A and B are shown apart, each in its own frame.
Chain A
């Protein structure tokens, strides 16, 4: 006779509210905030009203003077609106790490690691039913600021005197860049006096932005304005400039967006196109042969650099956040009689945010102060040879480069590459993954192949993790210390949004079982409960990643695709 299934109630979108103690009467004063009071509540559906969003996706948090609200570099999932008091943003060099109270992620102890030998599950995807039934909050991550883990900077006046700061007053919003763009916090912000904030997690922010056009425009304009200033302050080429010079640049710098922020939808459609059709469909930022008086800096997304070859375009490299384009042509033109057009084309891959800095400012503030040298003019040297920026001086095979760009593998920070000429197909990597994940491997040794290289369907922990976008509960998120994308199973409702959003099919939906091996099913529908599962980069293990360490032939490597030098080094070995 078949074992009777274990049943639980299927988790719902707001089963785990941001703050379970948030009540209706807490919402009333929030609605009077200038930023939120103008929102037309009729634009929201009854199933997800504006009040519901505030009640379930936001919470009230209080900070004492000197408390850090957000730290630069942490991956954030929420934005903040100042209800009372004020905060200060630390700009410029920022605070030293020691002051920021960073806590490294807790790895398993050696005893727990060794006990994995005999503690493995007998059945696939076994789960402890008690864990699933308890409500676990999102904030498992040690670096999140629960009251117990809050870090204080001490004397506020001392911070203001010793570091560059800017005030933000009541009614202002901050943290929206990290929350909406799936990136790390761009600055450290602390409370100048006792402050009360409304923290909205990104799902709520997304839903409000989706329904209210005015709110959306305000947030988008704020993003553009702040991105310019932050990017300039952070780029190493501008670190020598003082505030006045930076402001002069910021005022005249243009911000432009190309492509579609939700690029993963169009990416799937483009799979049926030929290589040249794909390139021609990519938004063109700059065309080879055109002249321009601006230096381009990439501040978001990726861009393809290509050269016209015969009737097509050959990819010669890709740019990511912080890279520049056109510097050599600009500096060449500054002191030569003949003008050189751009030697390469620049196209947006998916989406790209750029800054355009006028050439006169580049010459005034960067070149000639010995910060950047002029490109040497040599009448015997053909112009084509001087165009490529240093970041594109890659020795990678062109076919490999085209492959990485077209398949969007450039997004990965921990891409699993296998050299098939070394791989003996022993599956020691998969076995190691099983050993570290309770007998369940979190990747399959298959994927797209180019020549002798295989890019497996193991989570790449993307720099732009689109899997985060659709998650209704925030169960899939970036952990704070190293930015790996992880899944909190307790809050995963099995909606499959992340698995469907992932362009690389790295997320699998698994049917969970109890200790007897029987499927755990939903109380109402009797359908198996699903949970999203993927590589977590062995975050809790001492040895990380186990797959790479387990390969006896050095055939498998987890690589940051943004580090071209590392890829070149591995390939040359």
Chain B
């Protein structure tokens, strides 16, 4: 096997190895102790609870960047692989302690949502940056609305100039009919998420169709407008992709706090009603 490949993927190999070993150890422990005097349901439950607590700690670590508690990258790796381990722990725990009550059911579904969100987040954070990196410009998300407004204003200025220079309102009319709405706010959100080229081709089709009716002077102005419209489409692309990158966490973090809260309730109830267990 290529040494360079191994070296550059060493973290992946080590972490995957640790995950496999710990999952095998847990499953082996389950097989060995599930029918003995040790209530393995409690053991697997605590393991699951601690893995969830570790996940929540990652978010707290982010708020304390000045504390020497390891790099965020290290915590992220722990978060991902302990997450996979939590899936194993969950299913082991479910063998011992299948949920029938309301709290159990809520916990179960919260867990499914969390795992789905986490895996989705992993895919998003691995795929989306590539797509942004190959795009021409790098844009800060919070600046997009201001940049969009600046493009709108610049196009209006060009149109005003074209009306004075060419004594024709054709470009101005086209702008009112086709462009004004397009320039007003982000467009084609889901098409950009799917990395479709349709947003570009649609607007290009409209503009090319109109351009044939212009004279040379008008075409010069229209070319500037076309470039700005393309820039606006790039901004929409960035807006769509960065929105997903920023806001998927809103589907993940609230559920993590919810699952912690319900886990604590579950713990209390289990110990309260466990009897001689």
Give the B-binding residues of A (Cβ under 8 A).
113-114, 116-117, 420-426, 428, 431-432, 435-436, 444-446, 449, 452, 454, 538, 541-543, 546, 548-555, 572-573
Contacts and interface: CB of A to CB of B under 8 A. Distances in A.
Interface residues of B, number: 28
A553 B65 contact: no
A554 B128 CA distance: 16
B130 A572 contact: no
What DSSP secondary structure best describes chain A's contact surface? Answer: loop
A420 B72 contact: no
Main secondary structure of the interface of B (DSSP, over half): helix
Given A424-B125, A428-B62, A449 B75 contact: no
Given A420-B138, A543-B65, A550 B72 contact: yes
Contacts of B72: 428, 549-552
A353 B245 CA distance: 49
B177 interface: no
Given A426-B245, A549-B71, A573-B8, A445 B140 contact: yes
A543 B132 contact: no
Interface string B2-40: 001000100000000000000000000000000000000
B64 interface: yes
B146 interface: no
A283 B124 CA distance: 49
Contacts, number: 85
A175 B133 CA distance: 48
Contacts of A555: 129
A161 to B, nearest CB: 45
Given A113-B66, A550-B65, A425 B141 contact: yes
Given A116-B66, A420-B138, A546-B66, 10 more contacts: A424-B245, A425-B245, A431-B65, A435-B65, A436-B66, A444-B140, A452-B134, A550-B65, A553-B76, A553-B125
Contacts of A435: 63-66
The listed residue with most A CB atoms (<10 A of its CB), out of B63, B64, B134, B242, is B64
**What 9 pairs between A and B have smallest CB-CB spacing?**
A432-B65, A420-B133, A552-B76, A552-B72, A554-B73, A452-B133, A550-B65, A421-B133, A549-B71
Nearest to A572: B8
A454 B137 CA distance: 11
Contacts of A114: 67
A166 to B, nearest CB: 45
B130 to A, nearest CB: 5
Contacts of A428: 62, 65, 72
Interface string B55-74: 00000001111111001110
A552 B129 contact: no
Query: For B8, B72, B138, which residue has the most chain A Cβ atoms within 10 angstroms?
Result: B72
A425 B66 contact: no
